[in-house]
Structure 1
């Protein structure tokens, strides 16, 4: 059950980027589970990947191929091809070879991505047999089917699309993401694929994506688990009339903000679809001595099962938030300087319960579907935000039944 009324947006096609889907029957046969993305010749491509040491075979292959001017992305859902040893690597590489033969490009110009169950062999024959159908279906206006094809436990397809004006020229940014559980991206089981028709070098595109991801996908958590398969890709086809975007310019600044907006929207959609989630929780940490400190405090609160279950129960048990801050590892934390707010309600000041706080006021906030927790540390001027959700009975059920 998603938090909020989520509707798939009108998706603007990105000239120079085509998408084709098909059903390989990897884990189910009710919808397409294979996605092929084609980039026009001359397009640039950037990506960030999971930092999980047990990264999946397709992640290893995609990292190796990223510098080889990729032309195609191949994504399958239903199987992560992670924890599959040498056979998994062989299957990931074979999938690239098969796409390359169909498309008449080099195998190193294909980036593979997988999502689904860890530790099971990839049904590579099903994928190989279905590739021609996916290629046959390649069109620019295919983002809705693509968003559905990459879903696993997601309850809705996640998309973002906007045409913006930069220096008098129209620039399109369109993207999709998937993810609902095993979410605590440490990138650099979420995937994101974003395309634009802007012209920008691979190096500058990579810098742009890395900055955007740090402020979006790296600021969300459902359960604190970093997947073996996390990845986010940004493609630039160069089809827009806007001249090449150069670093240090106002044009780059405007483009950076646009990419960041896309990433933040898609990241929030993942949290709204957190497995079993009934609430969207924004945790803001203010007056920290550094960005890293603010993020650490926010994530400690966001990862706490006790905090998350209190939110599910609509219980204004502020002591759990207080305890999480105390164990966040902040050096020489002065609790007397700390204030904590639920919405606009001050619940803690000077290290204890606020004199103005009433249980009724706290309850009114906790009964809401979207809640902001603000922590004021009184140590500096830095501020960061992390998005999370509550823990419900359904989270346990979904994950207990994941392989059945």
Structure 2
């Protein structure tokens, strides 16, 4: 299990020095400043590789760019409208350029309109730390009363609508603005961000797409790019929906094992793979993460190891980012399944037997509270998670190799 860390570029408040001191082996990054749908040129890729290779003082960092997260898929591709054919062609060029630069793992997602969604990015914990949280009642209040999405009230129960109405009535303007900002939050340095009007427009354009329709568009996209990725030796890995249930009346197609199986089987090439995110998938009580790793493991090309604490047993419900060994996912069982998959890959002679993982997200603790890094990506909180995961890996590896 290769230990990697997400880095958002030179403006990231968590530096390469921090990462080296944490013992990170590789870097997960992207060219967030390039507009979605445009080509990632060799020059831009080389510039990011150079930035990763050097500390701010010019000394070698000893790190390299291992995983792209993410080479984004445009809304036009997802909806198969507008410039989608040009964007697919550009995606292929970007894959070739990444391959020429020696980068072999490309993570992406196919979530309509919004990527990960949270209502609070500084939820206060009993220990004084903070974390990200998704409050289902606040989200319904946003959908019905702030976004004012047409037809939204028809999708919720009377009880839920009453709770949302009460929540909204208690919000001042600043609270409303904060929730709206959190829901449509973008990555730092991203070339584009959405306004509420943008979200409304995209939602209206997705109205004609069912779950099957969106899945068919994903499969059509993969049918065009996966053979090239296979030829180039690039492993594509689709990130699950976050959270893994429908929002804003939009379809979700990568939220369960069954949904992943449909896409993997539809384009049955080894390059068509999975980013197994235990936090995203773990927000649903019916997702069995160790079992998913056992059954889909041969297609898992990248791992996000994090945990969430669900606040109900409902499919759609509130949750918050828990400590890595806490929450609803049995992390020890999941890591055990990963190590078993790596053992099988070595037996089969696969060159990709070591699966890159990163300690995804983390609670803001200690100096994180003053650093104000990208939400979900603190230095100390992730270091704590990585240390805990290292302990699990070391213990399971020792037990596996210990003489009987």
TM-score bracket for this pair, using the shorter chain length? under 0.3
| Higher Rg of the two aligned structures | 1
- Give TM-score scaled by structure 1 length: 0.25
What TM-score does the superposition give when structure 2 sets the normalisation length?
Answer: 0.25
Structure 1 or 2: more helix by fraction: 2
Q: Which has the higher strand share?
A: 1
